[in-house]
């Protein structure tokens, strides 16, 4: 198999990507991963803002050409841009996960599966139980709260099995919908022995099978979305083939420009085609496919940012990314609805101000809460942060090596 694959275009493409790039030292790579985590989670906050309270078109469909076209375009553009966040985070996870060789595989897989049960599933259950309790409180004391409608459950109509899934996310999305990613990442880890076998014996067949399932929107019966498994696998493929992680400035700029154009066209799609009541399947396939370019473009930006003084400061907060991920919803929904009545006028300018302010407030409060818990209740924080106890103070500026940062 190796003899058949060594001349595949992926190797030539990797050379083009790397052309002109400075080598990534271990400290540089570790810093880039930390920057990626916190920046991409902040991007998810933008993505999970959803529609403006007065909107009649979902940003997942695209802009509204008739009503507030500028504000709805900005909302949809940013949403589609950060569609690459989950794939890139999954790819980083896969790259960090498959660090062992053949001789270590059996023991390493057992150890990592066991560890991920604690670092992924326990916080998933904890946070969703907390949010279910919050939903019940809102129902009891503020039944008209707009935040209630943002939860992924209706406490008045749901069956017992729905309440069970609201916390444990076995066959249905949990109450805090962002944890679908954690659940699918855990399922991917549970089947990692199968992925490892494919990576060793049929790496490109495995990639093609997962890729086609993802493009077709097939969840393979066990995932909520197949992109987590696919990009986790691709991260392992990059690791095992020792493909370079550097992206040169020329390739990075080209990829970023292409991605921006694709995202803009996707956000403007309602101006050119009828996407109601159902989006064309071809449009959904194209939307998924553009994430392949988005992952490379975003990684290029992350690496450039990590090499700057600002990037080094941002990397200090990488260990807080899971806490921000866990808390940003329903906080973003509350910020959105609480700030909306304060708009002096509902026009494009003030709607964009509202959008940016809601996200900025959510990120600021989320990170502030994380630092307070990390400083004054580190053990509780470790549980809330998936077992990741973050030292505050001088030690916070230290960045773990990639081999020591494998808990994602």
DSSP code of residue 158: -
| Beta carbons of 329 and 177 less than 8 angstroms apart | yes
For the segment 155-210, what is each residue's pLDDT rounded down to a tens digit? Answer: 776 678 888 999 999 999 999 999 999 999 999 999 999 999 999 999 999 999 99
Q: Say how far apart CA 6 and CA 203 lie, in whole Å.
A: 12
Report the percentage of the chain scoring pLDDT > 70.
Answer: 92
Which residues, including other chains, have CB under 8 Å from residue 390's CB and lie 6 or more apart? Answer: 319, 320, 370, 374, 381, 396
Which two three-digit tokens encode residue 9? 């275009």
DSSP H or E run through 255: helix 249-267
Write the pLDDT tens digit of every residue in 36-72.
Answer: 999 999 999 999 999 999 998 999 999 999 999 999 9
Q: How many domains does the chain have?
A: 1
In eight-state DSSP terms, residue 117 is I
Q: What share of the chain is helix, strand, coil (3-state, %, to 5)?
A: 70, 0, 30
Residue 199: inside a domain? yes
Whether 405 is covered by a domain: the verdict is no
Name which of 4-18, 228-242, 257-271 the model is least confident about.
Answer: 4-18
List all residues 6 or more positions away from 198 whose beta carbon is below 8 Å from its beta carbon.
205, 206, 233
Proportion of the chain above pLDDT 90, given as a percent: 76
For residues 367 and 324, the answer to whether their CB atoms sit within 8 Å is: yes
Q: Is residue 20, in this structure, part of any structural domain at all?
A: no
The structure tokens listed for 157 are 């109509």
pLDDT at residue 127 in the model: 96
What whole-number distance in Å separates Cα of residue 118 and Cα of residue 181? Answer: 16
Range of the domain at 178: 25-385
The reply to whether 108 falls in a domain is yes
SS3 121: helix
* DSSP-based three-state secondary structure for 257: helix
More confident residue, 148 or 199: 199
Residue-level length of the chain: 408
User: 77 lies in a domain?
Assistant: yes
DSSP-assigned letter for residue 312 = H
Phi-psi region of 393 (alpha: psi -120 to 50; beta: other; left: phi over 0): left
Which tokens sit at 208?
């093609």
Is 51 within the bounds of a domain?
yes
Residue at 167 is within a domain: yes
Q: Check whether 397 has a pLDDT greater than 60.
A: no
Q: Which of 29-33, 170-174, 265-269, 386-390 has the lowest mean pLDDT?
A: 386-390
278-320 pLDDT, tens digit each: 889 999 999 999 999 999 999 999 999 999 999 999 999 999 9
12, part of any domain: no
| Token pair of 383 as six digits | 């549980």
CA–CA separation, 34 and 26 (whole Å): 12
Instruction: Give the confidence band of 149 by pLDDT, cuts at 50, 70, 90.
Output: confident
Q: What's the pLDDT tens digit per position in 318-349?
A: 999 999 999 999 999 999 999 999 999 999 99
């Amino acid at each position: 198999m190796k003899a058949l694959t060594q001349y595949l275009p992926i190797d030539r493409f990797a050379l083009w990507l790397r052309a002109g790039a400075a080598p990534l030292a271990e400290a540089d790579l570790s810093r880039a991963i930390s920057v990626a985590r916190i920046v991409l989670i902040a991007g998810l906050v933008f993505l999970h803002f959803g529609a403006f309270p007065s909107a009649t078109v979902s940003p997942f469909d695209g802009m509204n050409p008739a009503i507030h076209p500028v504000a709805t375009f900005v909302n949809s553009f940013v949403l589609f841009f950060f569609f690459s966040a989950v794939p890139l985070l999954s790819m980083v996870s896969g790259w960090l996960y498959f660090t062992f060789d053949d001789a270590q595989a059996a023991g390493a897989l057992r150890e990592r599966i066991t560890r991920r049960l604690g670092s992924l599933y326990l916080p998933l259950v904890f946070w969703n139980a907390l949010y279910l309790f919050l939903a019940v409180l809102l129902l009891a004391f503020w039944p008209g709260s707009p935040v209630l409608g943002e939860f992924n459950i209706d406490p008045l109509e749901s069956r017992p099995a729905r309440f069970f899934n609201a916390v444990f996310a076995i066959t249905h999305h949990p109450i805090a919908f962002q944890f679908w990613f954690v659940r699918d990442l855990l399922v991917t880890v549970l089947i990692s022995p199968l992925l490892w076998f494919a990576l060793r014996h049929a790496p490109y067949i495995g990639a093609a099978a997962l890729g086609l399932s993802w493009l077709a929107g097939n969840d393979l019966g066990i995932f909520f979305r197949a992109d987590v498994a696919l990009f986790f696998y691709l991260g392992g493929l990059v690791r095992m083939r020792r493909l370079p992680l550097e992206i040169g400035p020329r390739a990075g700029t080209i990829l970023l420009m292409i991605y921006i154009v694709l995202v803009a066209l996707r956000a403007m799609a309602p101006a050119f085609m009828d996407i109601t009541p159902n989006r064309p399947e071809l449009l959904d396939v194209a939307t998924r496919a553009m994430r392949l370019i988005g992952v490379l473009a975003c990684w290029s930006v992350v690496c450039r940012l990590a090499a700057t003084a600002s990037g080094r400061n941002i990397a200090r907060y990488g260990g807080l990314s899971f806490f921000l991920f866990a808390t940003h919803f329903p906080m973003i929904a509350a910020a959105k609805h609480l700030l909306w009545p304060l708009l002096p006028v509902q026009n494009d300018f003030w709607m964009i101000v509202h959008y940016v302010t809601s996200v900025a407030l959510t990120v600021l409060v989320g990170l502030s809460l994380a630092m307070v818990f990390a400083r004054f209740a580190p053990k509780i924080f470790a549980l809330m942060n998936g077992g990741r106890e973050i030292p505050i103070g001088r030690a916070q500026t230290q960045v773990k090596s990639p081999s020591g940062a494998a808990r994602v």
